[in-house]
């Protein structure tokens, strides 16, 4: 079977090399790109990223990627956001003033300080799967451990799009969203050992359906 072609979006927000290696390891052909033509031709799109919301949106605008990404999602192309790539899908963020892609209604919130709570939330944590039968979670244990690095979390207007939650201190927040062909995670699957590779493999398999 032909390997699916995945457009891995380059918008100067890091994390490209490890994301590309993870996807290649589970059977995808990856093109790191900011080309609208490659996005249109690809079987799927992945937008990774480390950093802050406003610079990310500005870079997407500078590279004229806002409309092509919105269009790919609207057309039903399999799409995976990773970390900052989840947050930019939302309408706004408490981290800045820019308007996000807006394909998921809601906003990005900052963790509220509390005694003995470390911010950023960094390290391994259990997922509480809210859509346990979603293809992204196939062959995972009940409460899989994955790796996080973030100070902000997403708050979708419609709780039904939350595919997984995570608890940090006393706060339980959305750690993944899934809506039809659109999936995104706050954690780093490419840094989450065999669980993360399984999630990436599940996404690649989803693109071939």
Give per-residue pLDDT as tens, 44-69: 999 999 999 999 999 999 999 999 99
Give me the catalytic one of 24, 59, 83, 155: 83
User: Is 190 designated active site?
Assistant: yes
Task: Give me the torsion for CA of 113, 119, 123, 125, rounded to 10°.
Answer: 20
Task: Show contacts of 118-122: CB within 8 Å, 24+ apart.
Answer: 119/151, 120/149, 120/150, 120/151, 121/148, 121/149, 121/150, 121/151, 121/166, 121/168, 122/148, 122/149
Beta-sheet pairing, 162-168 with 128-129: antiparallel
User: Is 142 designated active site?
Assistant: no
User: Is 188 designated active site?
Assistant: yes
State the pLDDT at residue 77.
Answer: 97
Sites in the chain below the pLDDT cut of 70 = 1
Q: Which two tokens stand for residue 33?
A: 């790109």
State the pLDDT at residue 1.
Answer: 62
For residues 195 and 141, what is the distance between their CA atoms, to the nearest angstrom? 9
State the pLDDT at residue 64.
Answer: 97
User: How many separate domains does the chain show?
Assistant: 1
State the pLDDT at residue 3.
Answer: 87
State the pLDDT at residue 2.
Answer: 76
| Residue 162, strand partner residues | 177
Check if the beta carbon of residue 147 is closer than 8 Å to that of residue 187: yes
State the pLDDT at residue 15.
Answer: 81
**Would you say the pTM of this structure is higher than 0.85?**
yes
Residues of the domain holding 107 = 5-207
State the pLDDT at residue 95.
Answer: 96
Give me the catalytic one of 24, 155, 190, 194: 190
CATH code of 42's domain: 3.40.50.880
State the pLDDT at residue 72.
Answer: 97
């Amino acid at each position: 079977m032909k390997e699916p072609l995945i457009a891995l979006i380059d918008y100067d927000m890091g994390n490209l090399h490890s994301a590309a290696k993870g996807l290649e390891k589970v059977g995808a052909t990856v093109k790191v790109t900011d080309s609208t033509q490659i996005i249109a031709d690809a079987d799927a799109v992945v937008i990774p990223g480390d950093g802050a919301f406003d610079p990310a949106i500005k870079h997407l605008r500078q590279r004229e990627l806002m409309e092509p990404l919105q269009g790919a999602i609207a057309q039903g192309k399999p799409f995976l956001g990773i970390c900052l790539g989840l947050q930019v899908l939302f309408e706004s963020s408490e981290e800045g003033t820019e308007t996000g892609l807006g394909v998921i209604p809601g906003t990005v919130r900052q963790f509220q300080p509390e005694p003995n709570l470390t911010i950023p939330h960094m390290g391994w944590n259990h997922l509480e799967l809210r859509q346990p039968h979603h293809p992204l979670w196939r062959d995972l244990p009940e409460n899989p451990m994955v790796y996080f690095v973030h100070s902000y979390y997403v708050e979708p207007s419609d709780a039904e799009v939350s595919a997984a939650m995570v608890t940090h201190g006393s706060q339980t927040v959305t750690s993944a969203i899934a809506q039809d062909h659109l999936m995104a995670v706050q954690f780093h699957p490419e840094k989450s050992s065999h669980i993360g590779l399984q999630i990436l493999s599940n996404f690649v398999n989803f693109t071939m359906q």
